[in-house]
Amino acid sequence: MGLGWLGSPLATQLLDCGNSVSGSTRNTEKAQLLKKEGISTFFFDLYTSSTNELNDSYFSNASLILNIPPGRKHFDPQQFVNKMKELINYAIKCGVRHIIFISTTAVFGKVLGEVNNLTELSPKTESGNAHADIERYLRSHAKSKDLRLDVLRLAGLVDNERHPVHSLAKKNDISLGKNPVNLVHKNDVIKCIKALLSRKHITGFSAMNLCSLSHPSRQEYYTWCAKELGITQPSFTLDDRQVADGKWINAKDTLASLALDLDFPSPFDMLYPKKE
């Protein structure tokens, strides 16, 4: 559910691997293009559509990847949570066998220092609170027989065309320059989702974080990125803290449990297309 910036290339790769793939979009023109690629595409808007409009057969004995971002312009936290719970209930009723919920490391908003897969949720933003609520709801279904429930919490998402330096370059007096960078490349997210889909004979609930393995400071990294790209360097305020107290996401347990190596283990690898 959600054939957007992340969902569309994921669907294409799953299709190329021989899977039967269907997915939702809010763009009718995009639906037609994806159908030509062999992806069974249907219109669904989380906020305005009803699960009564969905085809039960899409969910029966299927793996469901819930990849619907809350949106920024008209985000209604309670409606987002309620509609996602409704969608989860519908999928379970239809006999889904596996749900992967794409969450965010914003569920750790108040935590300082190292964050691992066992760190307690402590959100501080509306989006963080909404995702934490949905995570807890999924966990409440953990005892359902033969149902797999995976939560994948993503750090800041980038690819070769989408990178935060472009928006930061337009800003002045950015605070907390010593805080660590937490980014993950879209290709590694897709790689991780495919690994979750391929796990066999596992039921119950799990929650994993995904992030690069190195965490340079924000000022060091984004200044370097701007120099590399030849664009205006972001301006940071003086950060005279002896010890930076930001959070850094430790994804080593996730990678070990899935036997994965990241294609982009460092944010410094993410600025340009990966060389073959």
pLDDT category of residue 261 using cuts at 50, 70 and 90: very high
CA distances from 275 to 21, 84, 212, 223, 271 (A): 29, 39, 18, 23, 12
Reported as a single tens digit per residue, the pLDDT across 44-62 is: 999 999 999 999 999 999 9
Residue 275 has pLDDT above 90, yes or no: no
Q: What is the pLDDT of residue 274?
A: 62
The domain defined by 7-159+184-212+246-260 folds into Rossmann fold (3.40.50)
Strands 247-249 and 63-66: unpaired
Residue 207 has pLDDT above 90, yes or no: yes
Say which residue, 161 or 131, is predicted with more confidence.
131
Q: What is the pLDDT of residue 87?
A: 97
Task: Find the range with the poorest average confidence among 159-163, 246-250, 256-260.
Answer: 159-163
Q: What is the pLDDT of residue 245?
A: 84
Q: What is the pLDDT of residue 202?
A: 80
- Report the percent of the chain where pLDDT is more than 70: 98
Give the position of tokens 């249907």: 42
pTM for the full model?
A: 0.94
As a whole number, mean pLDDT of residues 161-187 equals 94
Average pLDDT over the chain reads 93
As a whole number, mean pLDDT of residues 53-73 equals 91
Q: Do 214 and 170 touch, CB atoms closer than 8 A?
A: no
Q: Distance from CA of residue 147 to its chain's centroid? A: 21
Q: What is the pLDDT of residue 16?
A: 94
Residue 66 has pLDDT above 80, yes or no: yes
Give the position of tokens 């995904």: 210
